[in-house]
Amino acid sequence: MENPKEIVAKSALRYITSGDVVGLGTGTTASEFIKALGASPLSKEVTCVPTSLETESLAKRLGLNLVSLNSVERIDITVDGADEVDNNKNLLKGGGGALTREKIVAHYSKRYVIVITEEKLVENLGSRMPIPIEVLPFSYVQIIRELNQMGLSCQLRKNFTTDNGNYIIDCKPNQKVLKGSLQDLNKAIKLLPGVVETGIFINFNPEILYHKNGQVLEIK
């Protein structure tokens, strides 16, 4: 039997048309979409931009036509997963460590489709999963100290380096931060020298496909 991630990932194929430039996300559910795309007739009719070396490797094995972001004028549609989605369709991403490239590809995409399972729907980002922050190795200790002072309980992700050669700090917000402004939190974090990017995705207006009780439901 197909698992929920396979079901919701395959449902995103209906948004892909011949000639599209397709952004390929990173993570377990995004991987299921890539497998489904690779097995479909559309696999020879689209061009794909991967968001990580892991995704690139999988897509190559499946015979998908890959190009770099710098070689295309636009991305027609990106299909990706998420660690959390709140009531305002803000996203928490970066469990797989590809948050910076994922955010760049999302920014340059005309259409942004997120495929998730029901448990990823939350009231507040950071309530279920820590907030990932990509940082330069040069100053990660100082950044952790400052983040802790902001109400985030932070730990360096052990034995992990991003495709960009950086570190990931995973941060659990306290209740005050959890209930506060995502916009203000994201801005405050990004103002810290040495922070490359956060896993908070705001104002991307994604289309959300989620699996619930054997069905795929949509939040536009």
pTM for the model: 0.95
Residue 134: its H or E element: strand 131-135
pLDDT at 1: 61
User: Is 32 among the catalytic positions?
Assistant: no
Q: What's the mean pLDDT when you consider all of the chain?
A: 96
79 Rama class: left (phi>0) / alpha (psi -120 to 50) / beta? beta
pLDDT at 23: 98
Active-site residue identified among 32, 56, 102, 134: 102
DSSP assigned state of 66: B
Residues 89, 205 contacting (CB under 8 angstroms)? yes
pLDDT in tens, 129-182: 999 999 999 999 999 999 999 999 999 999 999 999 999 999 999 999 999 999
pLDDT at 87: 93
Residues 207, 113 contacting (CB under 8 angstroms)? yes
CATH class of 131-199: alpha beta
CATH class of 4-122+202-219: alpha beta
Domain ranges of the chain: 4-122+202-219, 131-199
Q: C-alpha 138: how far from its chain's center?
A: 25
Low-confidence ranges of the chain (pLDDT < 70): 1
pLDDT at 220: 79
